[in-house]
Amino acid sequence: MKLFTILITFGQSISYVMSGMYGQPEDLGYFVCFLIGTQLFLTGFMVLMLDEMMSAGFGLGSGISLFIAVNISEDIVWKCFSPVTISSEGGTEFEGCIVAFYHFWMTKGDKLSALRAAFYR
């Protein structure tokens, strides 16, 4: 089972690099593609090993479930407080919903339209 998981991790790292997820492979070069693929593979392998440790009694429950929960929590916090600006049809705005809400509240004269823009963007 571990061997199959390692093979899937290897195949997925190659497919991510070759599909252009990190830039076109022709533009990146062989060495950079190799480094990105190696980094992705080793990261997946470390997650597999951490899951094995947690399943063996060195942690609470399944390791993969814990990693998924942490990733989802990170996404929620980032989507709330991200200071990165994005371009939209209404102009440049912040990616984080709470940061965007305060920005709209401070910059728009009509507070009701600011509240509407923050919720329906």
Distance separating alpha carbons of residues 6 and 14, to the nearest angstrom: 12
Distance separating alpha carbons of residues 35 and 100, to the nearest angstrom: 36
Instruction: Provide the mean pLDDT of the chain.
Output: 85
- The domain locations on the chain are 2-61, 85-119
User: How many Cβ atoms are within 10 Å of 21's Cβ, its own excluded?
Assistant: 10
What's 113's DSSP letter?
H
- 86 and 92 in contact (C-beta within 8 Å)? yes
Q: What is the pLDDT of residues 34-87, one digit of tens each?
A: 999 999 999 888 888 877 877 777 666 666 777 787 889 889 988 888 888 888
pLDDT at 8 > cutoff 90:
yes
The confidence score (pLDDT) of residue 36 equals 92
User: How many Cβ atoms are within 10 Å of 34's Cβ, its own excluded?
Assistant: 12
Greater pLDDT, 12 or 49: 12
| Mean pLDDT of the region 96-111 | 89
